Amino acid sequence: MLAFSVSARTREFGLRLAIGSTPRDVLVQVMAEGGLIVAIGLVAGAAGSGVLGFAAASYFDDVRLPGLVPVLGATAIIAGAGILASLMPATRASRVDVLQALRSE
């Protein structure tokens, strides 16, 4: 989703770089957007898994919910993978050629 957003906003990034924004500013902004997407996904996933886990536990006797350590470990791994996946579109956005972006469309 972030990669599509970055490719659709190439002209915007080129314009920002043309008026004085640094490539680092663009990189930080896109990484922040990626972090927000990851955070929303983690919260939605945690809420959904909690609801489904409690629902399954009420129907089946042998269902036990995992402890806090495995949940935090999985959350950390997923968050790290999401942030790492945001790095490629963010780098591409920070390296936009200003002249080519302004000439497009």
Distance CA 3, CA 33 (A): 11
Burial of 3 (0-12, 13-18, 19+ CB in 10 A): middle
pLDDT of residue 97: 87
pTM of the predicted protein model: 0.82
Handedness of CA 53, 58, 60, 62 (dihedral sign): positive
What pLDDT score was predicted for residue 105? 60
Spans of the chain below 70 pLDDT? 105
Closest by CA to 81, choosing from 50, 37, 46, is 37
Per-residue pLDDT at 62: 82
pLDDT digits (tens, 9 = 90+) for 1-10: 888 988 888 8
Question: What pLDDT is recorded for position 77?
Answer: 96
